[in-house]
Amino acid sequence: MQTTWVTWAGYQGRYTKEFLSQQRVGVPFFGMGNSVEEAQSKQEIIEILYRELWKDSGGITPVATNALAIWRFEMQIGDWIILPGRFERLYFIGEVLSEYTFVPDDPWELHHYRKVQWFARNLPKQAFSESLQNTLNISTLQKPFPLSTELNEELSLLMKYRQ
């Protein structure tokens, strides 16, 4: 069964344009490529992030760690992504098409990503129920999170009318 993930395009939607034009979703973390590709668990990613990035910073960032672990291990081909627009209350919905990929010289800094086919663009928030709107409105973290079963079913019904 597919999972629907709600995610932002970086802090304050910084990468929204790139996510849409490049047909993908991802996170930066330059310098983490080979290590993350070889990691076998979320715990290994935490250890790598601590060792390679945050050992001198006084601690690791749980949101960032979880985001990278989700891109690497939890998202699956066929899952859906809901991407809130950068400033307006529009939403974009896509389907994950690829496995986790690392590109060390990515021009948009999205070194860790998955390809996405955006099949619904510029959906106004009014297209969703109040419950789904509330969930989308509170999704201010950069870490992707799955929708509840009830909201996922609502979205599936709505998306059967997709173009």
Reference 72, options 106, 109, 108, 34; nearest CA is: 34
More confident residue, 139 or 52: 52
Residue 78 is encoded by which pair of tokens? 């066929």
In which band, very low, low, confident or very high, does the pLDDT at 21 lie, cut at 50, 70 and 90?
very high
Rg (the chain; Cα; Å): 16
pLDDT for 117 beyond 90 = yes
What residue spans define the domains of the chain? 4-159
pLDDT for 42 beyond 90 = no
**How many C-beta atoms surround the C-beta of residue 139 within 10 A?**
18
In which band, very low, low, confident or very high, does the pLDDT at 141 lie, cut at 50, 70 and 90?
very low
pLDDT for 118 beyond 90 = yes
Read off the pLDDT of residues 54-103 as tens digits, 9 standing for 90 and up.
655 555 455 666 777 888 888 899 998 888 887 667 889 999 999 988 88
pLDDT in the model for residue 140: 47
Answer whether 119's CB lies under 8 Å from 162's CB.
yes
Tell me 11's DSSP state: G
What is d(CA 67, CA 70) in angstroms, rounded to the nearest whole number? 5
For domain 4-159, give the CATH number. Answer: 3.10.590
User: Which residues have a Cβ under 8 Å from the Cβ of 34 and sit 6 or more positions away?
Assistant: 102
What is d(CA 61, CA 135) in angstroms, rounded to the nearest whole number? 23
Residue with tokens 């050992």: 55
